[in-house]
Amino acid sequence: MTVNAVEIAGLSKRYGRTLALDDINLTIGADETFALLGPNGAGKTTLIHILCTILRPDSGTAKISGHDVVRQSLRARKNLGVIFQEPSLDARLTVRENLEFHGMVYRVPRAVRRQRITELLELVDLSDWADKLVRTLSAGMKRRVELARALIHDAKVVILDEPTVGLDAQSRSNIWTYLRQLKAARGFTLIVTTHYIEEVDEADRVCIIDHGRILALDAPSTLRAEHGREIVRVVPRDAAATAAIRARFPTAEERDGDIAIIGADSTVTETLLRDFGPQIRNLSYDRPSLESVFLALTGREIRDQPATRGMRG
Amino acid sequence: MGALVGVYAIWLREIKRALRDRGQLIGGVSRPLLWVLILGIGLNPYFRAEIYGEVRFVVPYTYLQFIFPAVIVLNIMYTAVQSAVSVIADREFGFLREVLVSPMPRSLVLIGKVLGGATVAMVHGCIVLILAEFTDVNLRLGDLFLGLGLMFLLAFGLTCLGIVIANRIRSFEGFGVFSNAVILPLYFTSSSVFPLDPALSGAQTRVLYPEWLVTLVEWNPITYAVDSLRGVFIGFNQFDESYGPIVMVIMVVAFFAIALWDFRRT
């Protein structure tokens, strides 16, 4: 019998008058890659902190590999490898000393500890940096040390809270390459929260939460198919063409001279090419992205970006 | 057994951090040198009185001898309280979380941390012992062990105090100011740099010194730590010999309990 990696039942947490988590029910299977997606303040970090046993829920239960995070927190922690949003290495110790510390605190026998440190440093390409002080490492390298550290003990569930935030695009994709390699080598359940929606495609299942509730939970492709909207954009040659196309597709919207046909299926493109071919200057097709799924479900962009307009002089 | 490895890991980390902190090491060496060489030697001639034409020391010791045990206490105080800076650093730089999600009980984490800080403070206390020869203090082996035991008790208690303070103050700057505001007054009012003459009765002492000062000295727990180390190293006690160890044990238990209570809530 395999134990589920994570079992959450009726989980609620309130901060003052804000309900951060509202009756969450969720099961995550062994070896699954699970992504948690939500805007700022959606309750992601609250949920992660409860799973990490550093925050107590108001009601409901959460179990890591069958161990209750409140009543059996020490056992639950043994099965957990956590990588927090903020780096949590000791910058004054070397890479190896940080990993040794972790191994000792998690009671990994000396021989196993030494062997795993060597192997894991190899896997994240940091063997040459083992005896350098952590403070001399780049942000991306520090993240890799933390990936290795989470697996020094027998972590069955690895939780990453925004693992790639603050890294450049190249380091971000590197981190995911390393994660895939580690997962192939060791096998564990991966729970990840991220702001970078393109990273979520790596996951087996995506859970979109907002205002403490689960809005959608499914494979990325299914979510796209169900909630995503395909958009065909047309740039007509002249005003006459614009009018003709708009007459054919009354629901289309006009945006800066383009025509955007939202919720288009494959027949739309065919019709356009067949009937309006010579009148079209440009035609483009937007695949439904998780970004649009997210927007459709929450009514918000994934990143609440501050307005930059007017900042430039 | 496994739990001890974890405590050892935390202890070892504190030691390594202290060894890599040049500033702390330099302070640990320069502080006793300043106090003993400059203040001790400078005030040495004034620490005696003339009675009927006969030159006598106020207490039957030179000022260097008198101040020597107090400088040990000072060095332990500074280092122990400063070692709690690592508590603030751990919170600030995220390392605290690594420990909080580990399967180690909070109490053992705290014990490792306090033992680490206390060890470093002990080492700084021992740096002062090197000056013993120079200050005309004869260290006998038995006294030395007894003294080291008392020093450890003091170091442990003060490290807990440092952690208690660190838990209430969130910034490095605040901690620096506050710890100085705690350390120096405690040190100066511990009968470290001047004696409350044991030959005088309580009433006479109050005539010589203002009452508030005498009260401060008597209520200051560090007074009894200094007194017991003086008793061991130079054989001079102003108070009953048993006070020192009793006060220090109470300090250790009380501050450790408060520190643990704080830590359990994080």
Chain B contact for A77 (CB, 8 A cutoff): yes
Inter-chain contact B102–A106, Cβ cutoff 8 Å?
A: yes
- Residue whose pair of structure tokens reads 């044991």 in the numeric block: B198
What's the pLDDT at B51? 61
Beta-bridged to residue A81, according to DSSP, are A158
State the SS3 of A65-130: CCEECCCCHHHHHHCEEEECCCCCCCCCCEHHHHHHHHHHHCCCCHHHHHHHHHHHHHHCCCHHHC
Q: Would you list which residues of chain B are within 8 Å, Cβ to Cβ, of chain A? A: 2-3, 5-6, 8-10, 12-13, 16-17, 20, 93-105
Inter-chain contact A80–B101, Cβ cutoff 8 Å?
A: yes
What's the pLDDT at B242? 87
- Distance from the Cα of B3 to chain A's closest Cα (Å) equals 7
Which of A54, A90, A153 to mutate against chain B (most B CBs within 10 Å)?
A: A90
Dihedral angle, C-alpha B2, B3, B7, B13, nearest 10 °: 50
Inter-chain contact A104–B102, Cβ cutoff 8 Å?
A: no
Q: Which domain holds residue B196?
A: 2-265
Q: Which residues of A touch B17 (CB under 8 A)?
A: 90, 92-93
The yes-or-no verdict on residue A313 having pLDDT over 60 is no
CA torsion sign, B101 to B107 to B108 to B110? positive
What's the pLDDT at A230? 72
Q: Which residues of A touch B101 (CB under 8 A)?
A: 52-54, 77, 80, 82
Please state the domain count of chain B. 1
Overall residue count recorded for chain B in this entry: 266
What's the pLDDT at A309? 35
Inter-chain contact B9–A104, Cβ cutoff 8 Å?
A: yes
Lowest average pLDDT, out of A177-181, A226-230, A236-240, B56-60, goes to: B56-60
What's the pLDDT at A308? 36
**CA–CA separation, A51 and A250 (whole Å):** 49
Inter-chain contact A101–B9, Cβ cutoff 8 Å?
A: yes
Q: From B264, which residue of chain A is nearest by alpha-carbon distance?
A: A54
Residue A312's pLDDT band (boundaries 50, 70, 90)?
A: very low
Q: From A104, which residue of chain B is nearest by alpha-carbon distance?
A: B6
Q: State pLDDT tens for residues A58-105.
A: 999 999 999 999 999 899 999 999 998 888 999 999 999 999 999 999
Q: State pLDDT tens for residues B151-187.
A: 999 999 999 999 998 888 878 788 888 778 888 899 9
Lowest average pLDDT, out of A3-7, A34-38, A242-246, A260-264, goes to: A260-264
Chain B contact for A104 (CB, 8 A cutoff): yes
The yes-or-no verdict on residue B216 having pLDDT over 60 is yes
What's the pLDDT at B202? 66
Residue A307's pLDDT band (boundaries 50, 70, 90)?
A: very low
**CA–CA separation, A159 and A5 (whole Å):** 11
Residues in contact with B226: Cβ distance below 8 Å, sequence separation at least 6, in sequence order: B69, B70, B73, B190, B191, B192
**CA–CA separation, B107 and B105 (whole Å):** 5
β-pairing, A280-286 with A258-262? unpaired
The yes-or-no verdict on residue A283 having pLDDT over 50 is yes
CB atoms within 10 A of CB A236: 21
DSSP string of B144-176, one letter each residue:
HHHHHHHHHHHHHHHHHHHHHHHHH--SHHHHH
Range ranked top by mean pLDDT from A127-141, A202-216, B23-37:
A127-141
Residue type at B8?
Y
Residue type at B89?
A
Which of A101, A112, A142 to mutate against chain B (most B CBs within 10 Å)?
A: A101
**Could you tell me the strand order of the sheet in which A253-255 lies?**
A253-255, A258-262, A231-236, A280-286
- Distance from the Cα of B170 to chain A's closest Cα (Å) equals 18
How many A/B residue pairs have CB atoms within 8 Å?
69
Lowest average pLDDT, out of A291-305, B24-38, B102-116, B156-170, goes to: A291-305
Q: Do B228 and B148 touch, CB atoms closer than 8 A?
A: no
- Overall average pLDDT of the B202-231 stretch: 84
- Overall average pLDDT of the A266-287 stretch: 74
ipTM of the complex: 0.85
What's the pLDDT at B265? 80
What's the pLDDT at A305? 43
Residue A286's pLDDT band (boundaries 50, 70, 90)?
A: confident
Give contacts of A 136-155 with B, CB under 8 A: none
DSSP string of B32-61, one letter each residue:
HHIIIIIIIHHHGGGSEEEETTEEEESSSS
The yes-or-no verdict on residue A278 having pLDDT over 80 is no
Beta-bridged to residue A19, according to DSSP, are A14
| Cross-chain CB nearest to B101 (options A77, A87, A107) | A77
- Overall average pLDDT of the A108-118 stretch: 94
Query: Cα–Cα distances in Å, from A186 out to A81, A107, A216, B13, B76?
Result: 13, 19, 29, 28, 48
Chain B contact for A169 (CB, 8 A cutoff): no
What's the pLDDT at A311? 34
Report the mean per-residue pLDDT for chain B. 86
Q: State pLDDT tens for residues B127-141.
A: 999 888 888 888 888
- Distance from the Cα of B13 to chain A's closest Cα (Å) equals 8
Query: Cα–Cα distances in Å, from A301 out to A286, B86, B166?
Result: 17, 40, 40
Query: Between these two residues, A63 and B196, which has the higher pLDDT value?
Result: A63
What's the pLDDT at A310? 34
- Distance from the Cα of A127 to chain B's closest Cα (Å) equals 22
Residues in contact with B155: Cβ distance below 8 Å, sequence separation at least 6, in sequence order: B76, B79, B80, B117, B118, B119, B121, B122, B125
The yes-or-no verdict on residue A172 having pLDDT over 70 is yes
Q: State pLDDT tens for residues B103-122.
A: 999 999 999 999 999 999 99
3-state secondary structure of A299: coil
**CA–CA separation, B233 and A104 (whole Å):** 40
Query: Cα–Cα distances in Å, from B96 out to A225, B18, B83, B189?
Result: 43, 17, 15, 35
